[in-house]
Amino acid sequence: MDTQILEDIGLTNGEIKVYLSLLELDTSTAGPIIEKSQMQSSAVYIALHQLLNKGLISFIKKGQIKHYQASNPDHLIEFIDDKKQRFLDILPELKKKQQVGKTKRDASFYSGARGIKEMLYELLNSTGGEHHTIGSPSVSNEIIQEAWWINYHLKRAQKKIKAKLIFNESLRKFQSSAQYPMSETKYTNFGPDEPLTETIIRGDKVGIIIWTQIPTGILINDKEAASSYEKYFQFLWNTEKTTN
């Protein structure tokens, strides 16, 4: 079982091992948990204490001995909702700080598939007109799965944002107007040595992605730079070298 999602919502590796052990043991004292989780006793007791604080396990005392039990896994949803609400409570203050800092920077850097997704959502949620893309190699569909791209462009369409996409020829087999609504697509053929770069222009922002094994993204927030990239996009869109 892939337990990465449990780490993503804030559980430590030790907490995950203890929680999963308890799910299988049902009700247990510390000894069987230590044996099943294959952790040191001190680490198990720390994890039990943390899980109790998070409301993910409970215990009853029989004499002087504690018998632990994992909460229903559905309770994890409440745990996530609680974290979400706590975040929403501070979100207005975070946005205020962001507005103060915007004048201090005009470029942000992102790394890895998760970072690239964050950058793409930043472009999607920003103000501006159409979504314009230049490039994008086939490897982009390996690093970030096609299902995610389809969902991303569905969200774009729901926001009534039109898209003009100039993809590398290697992406033709993946993309269709049914998958990417409210979009027009053209293709350019670089042959077998296609560049690994992708550029997205939206409003005053330009996102540049380098699709290496660990992709890197640069988000530029600059009206003049965006205007320059937009002119380049329009040139490519209208050139005869790019075909529908």
This prediction has a pTM of: 0.58
128 pLDDT higher than 90: no
Q: What is the pLDDT of residues 52-74, one digit of tens each?
A: 998 899 999 888 899 999 988 88
pLDDT range class, residue 241, cuts 50, 70, 90: low
Give the percent of the chain with pLDDT over 70: 93
CATH T-level assignment (fold) for domain 4-75: Arc Repressor Mutant, subunit A (1.10.10)
The arithmetic mean of pLDDT across residues 89-117, rounded, is 82
User: Could you tell me if 56 and 75 are in contact, meaning their C-beta atoms sit under 8 angstroms apart?
Assistant: yes
35-49, 104-118, 176-190: segment of lowest average pLDDT: 176-190
30-34, 73-77, 168-172, 197-201: segment of lowest average pLDDT: 168-172
Q: What is the pLDDT of residues 144-183, one digit of tens each?
A: 988 899 999 999 999 999 999 998 888 887 665 457 889 9
Map out the domains of the chain as residue ranges: 4-75, 104-238
Q: What is the pLDDT of residue 43?
A: 95
Angle in degrees, CA 201, 207, 209, rounded to 5: 125
pLDDT range class, residue 90, cuts 50, 70, 90: very high
Superfamily of domain 104-238: Endonuclease Chain A (3.30.870.10)
45 pLDDT higher than 80: yes
In sequence order, the 6+-apart residues with CB closer than 8 A to the CB of 197 are 135, 208, 209, 210, 211
* Strands across the sheet containing 216-221: 107-111, 216-221, 205-210, 197-202, 131-135, 163-168, 183-188
pLDDT range class, residue 78, cuts 50, 70, 90: confident
pLDDT range class, residue 95, cuts 50, 70, 90: confident
